[in-house]
Amino acid sequence: MSSLGLNKWIVSGHLGADAQIKTVELRNGEKATVASTTLYVRKMRDRNEAFTVALSIWEKSAAWRKLQFLKKGSLIICTGSVEPNPYVSSADNSPRAGLQMTVLDVDLDVVRDGDDAEEPSEMMGAPLDESDAKATKKTASQAAAPEAAAPPAQPTPSAPPAEKATKKQTTKAAATPVA
């Protein structure tokens, strides 16, 4: 396998703002949706200094599914490709070096909710929508107490023995959490 042209970066930092979603027109005339935000990355030696990375999250990427959890101040880990992005400072009109990252995936480390409270995230595979979130919570509670989640199935007296075994297996499978 050749690594010629490989551009894969992993960086962690805090989000400077909630992502701004916009629709853009591509060169071929098609339209696409992209979210943009800024990541503040602390330098290793001097923890008081930081640099910024402009993030672009495209609609068809894996990171797009986690967009609803990306709030200002959240600590995240981004994987993607980086390109230089020079700009002119508005403070003193001097040229600056910047980085632009096209994010392929995001790992959530610390997510901030509406009250700015920090909570560790266990959402490596974040749910796609609210109904998935409810199903995930239900599955997690079933895993904690499988006996309470679903009562064992009572076989009907007229059912053949093979059907009884199938009902027990089905009930057992329903109570087993999905990974």
Q: What is the pLDDT of residues 37-60, one digit of tens each?
A: 999 998 777 677 888 999 999 999
Q: How confident is the model at residue 87 (pLDDT cuts 50, 70, 90)?
A: confident
| Amino acid present at 51 | F
Spatial distance between the Cα atoms of 68 and 44, rounded to a whole number of angstroms: 29
Q: What is the pLDDT of residues 20-33, one digit of tens each?
A: 999 999 999 999 99
Q: Which comes out higher in pLDDT, residue 174 or 54?
A: 54
Spatial distance between the Cα atoms of 137 and 170, rounded to a whole number of angstroms: 21
In which residue ranges of the chain is CATH 2.40.50.140 found?
Answer: 9-126
Give pLDDT, residue 5: 75
Spatial distance between the Cα atoms of 81 and 6, rounded to a whole number of angstroms: 9
Q: What share of the chain is helix, strand, coil (3-state, %, to 5)?
A: 25, 35, 40
Cβ partners under 8 Å of residue 64, min gap 6:
35, 57, 58
Task: Give percent above pLDDT 70 in the chain.
Answer: 59
Q: CATH says 9-126 is which class?
A: mainly beta
Q: Give the length of the chain.
A: 179
DSSP letters spanning 129-179: SHHHHHHHHHHHHHHH-HHHHSPPPPPPTTS-HHHHHHHHHHHHHHHSPP-
